[in-house]
Every structure is written in structure tokens, then in C-alpha cells.
Structure 1
């Protein structure tokens, strides 16, 4: 990853990255909470008591937020605030993040884990051959990126909790941020290079 990054100071880079991650989180947010306002509460049509003479405060409806069982003031309304980011900014955010992670990226041959049956032992053996044994003795998050999803590899690492295998087309900024070490095949890196110009 030696491509030239635009001449942007560190503060601006972090600002772009923060914006991109915030937009991503916003897009994944379900936004299902909703409360009833006074217009949604059933009943409350009749005036509960006369305007004057009771000695109490005047009240027009039992659906008022001041009454028990009435509506809620300023509660969540199941509306999502749509945040947007330009394509160029998003690409730049990916580039900044990958450049920051370059010390933790290791490259794999395209035939990585090309074995016939899913066995954890086969995966461990291949990792040892590549002199990447350190990823087996750590609790850090390991991300393996391939050009396509590998079912045999997925089954082989099913009982290793800190390793995730993904196709390079499935990644987003959050996944890369959470990864402490990234193993990427050359074909997957070629895809990243073409898409994000890293």
C-alpha cells in the first residue's frame, strides 16, 4: 500500500474516518422504538371536569402528557435521521484506515487453506507453515479476507472464536476497525486496490 494519500493533516483524516463510521452505524441502526403522543392515545375526548370551580388546574383532555396514561412528550418516534457521505469521502476513509492498519496486514497466497476436508488441525498446520503461529496464541481479533467465501475454511475455524473469515466484498469500516490483525489473499488485495485505489 504505497499509493500517495492526499495531503491532509491527521485531524482532518480522523474527521473523515469518524464521519464514514458514523454514517455506517446510522445505516445499520434499526430504529424501532416508538412512544404514543397525545394524539395517538385512545380516548380523552371529553373534558374531564369543568373549566372553573373545582379548585384544581384546568385540563382539557385525559390524553394530556400531564395525566397518568396520557401521551409522552418528545419520545422516540421510529424515525431515522438519514446521514449521507460522498463516494469519494468513503473511499478516502477506507484508504486512511487501511494505511493505518498496514503494519498489521499479512499477505496470503491465493491457494491458502485449499484442503479437501474441514479440519481445524489442517488450518493450524498451514498457519504454522506460513510462520503466522502468533495468531493462534492471542485473544486479539483476527480477520481473514479472501476474494470469495470459503466454506471449508469457515468450518475449519468454527471453534476458534477470535478468527473471522469474510469475502473482501462483505467488509465495512467497522469490521476493519475491530480487527487487530488482517490476513489477506493477493487476489482480495487486488480487488481492494482496484476499488479503493490503495
Structure 2
């Protein structure tokens, strides 16, 4: 499939980018998308949650009252979970939430997400550009020119470009990444995915493997 290449001012350059049908025009596999998004969200969890259990509470170990004759239940330690300040029963412990997913499934999921975005006309190809210095106003002008000012957008660069990245960092609705950071979740979370020409070849070669 062919997509018109625009410049950063939103004007048509007169050129067209050839997008591989094997990446941008396949039958989407919804289950692969589900698995990849599920893994991505799971990996955002730190898993550092922890509460102190009975054995970890610092407190006196003396028996707080006699065993019999009080008319109430026996109690051996102030650290018991039934008392205020005692340990927590079955409290959360540190846990690793990472999930394993086959590379081929991840590639299929990304191709499926790109194909869905392509069907929605959410793929934009932009010629490579940069800024002389980081400036949020300059990036906002690019968004206005592309009609993405009030929409979620994902810009995919071929290489690291600090001036473009820093210019977008304060904008909640836009994200700038390199081709190696592209994920199924980020593709689906954006209304439009803007590829710079320098990123296309690397993405297609990686997803065709």
C-alpha cells in the first residue's frame, strides 16, 4: 500500500511511501494483540507491595495476660494480628509480574495493531525533520499542521532525536519514541501513529522476521 509523505508543516511533498502489505495490511489476530497488551501492562507493575506479618513486627514477646480465668480468648503476644499494631494476616508480598511471550506472537500482535490502525486511516508518514533546539511551541505547530492537536498521537523516529523528544515531553497527548520502542499497546493507545521515513525500513525489516 502507498501513503502520501507529508512534511512537518502538513504539506504534501508529492512523494509516496510504500508500506509493506505483510506489516500494514494483514488480517488482525485479536488474541495475539490481547496477549501482547496483557504482557505490556503486567510489566508496568513494580511488584514491590509488602506488609509486615506477625513474625516481622517489633514488639514485646511477653504473654499479655494469663491463660485462664479472664473470660476472654487466650492471647500470647501483642504482635498477634487480632490486636491493633499487630501483623497482617496473609498480607501482600513482593511478586514478579513479568510474563513470557513468544517473539513471533509479539511480532504478529504489532503487525495486527498496525493493520487495524491502517484500516482506520490512522497511519501518517512524515519526512524526517528536526528542531534547532527543544521548544514545545514548535512541536505544537507540527501537531496543528497535521490536525493532531487535540488527539492522542505517537511519533516514531528512526534514530534518537533529543530536540524532537524534549519538545514533546510536556504534552500529555503526544509521545515520541524510536522504532525499537514500538509496542502493540502504544500503537492502539494512539489515535494516529506518525512514522518518520527513517523509521519505516527498520520497523518493516524487524516485523517481517
TM-score band w.r.t. shorter chain: 0.7 to 0.9
CA distance in 2 between partners of 1:40 and 1:121 (Å)? 53
CA distance in 2 between partners of 1:23 and 1:144 (Å)? 22
The answer for the alignment partner of 1:146 in structure 2 is: 157
How far the C-alpha of 1:82 sits from its partner, in A, is 3.3
Q: What is the TM-score with the length of structure 2 in the denominator?
A: 0.74
The answer for the alignment partner of 2:123 in structure 1 is: 105
How far the C-alpha of 1:120 sits from its partner, in A, is 6.8
1:56 counterpart (60, 65, 72): 72
Give the CA RMSD over aligned residues: 3.1
Instruction: Report if aligned partners of 2:23, 2:208 keep a CA contact under 8 Å in 1.
Output: no
CA distance in 2 between partners of 1:152 and 1:4 (Å)? 29
The answer for the alignment partner of 1:134 in structure 2 is: 147
- Between Structure 1 and Structure 2, the one with more strand by share is 2
Gaps of 5+ in 2: 1-19
The answer for the alignment partner of 1:46 in structure 2 is: 62
Change (3 A) 1:89 1:158: closer
Instruction: Report if aligned partners of 2:55, 2:87 keep a CA contact under 8 Å in 1.
Output: yes
Change (3 A) 1:86 1:125: closer
Change (3 A) 1:119 1:63: closer
Q: What is the TM-score with the length of structure 1 in the denominator?
A: 0.77
Gaps of 5+ in 1: none
How far the C-alpha of 1:159 sits from its partner, in A, is 6.7
In the alignment, is residue 3 of structure 1 matched against residue 22 of structure 2?
Answer: yes
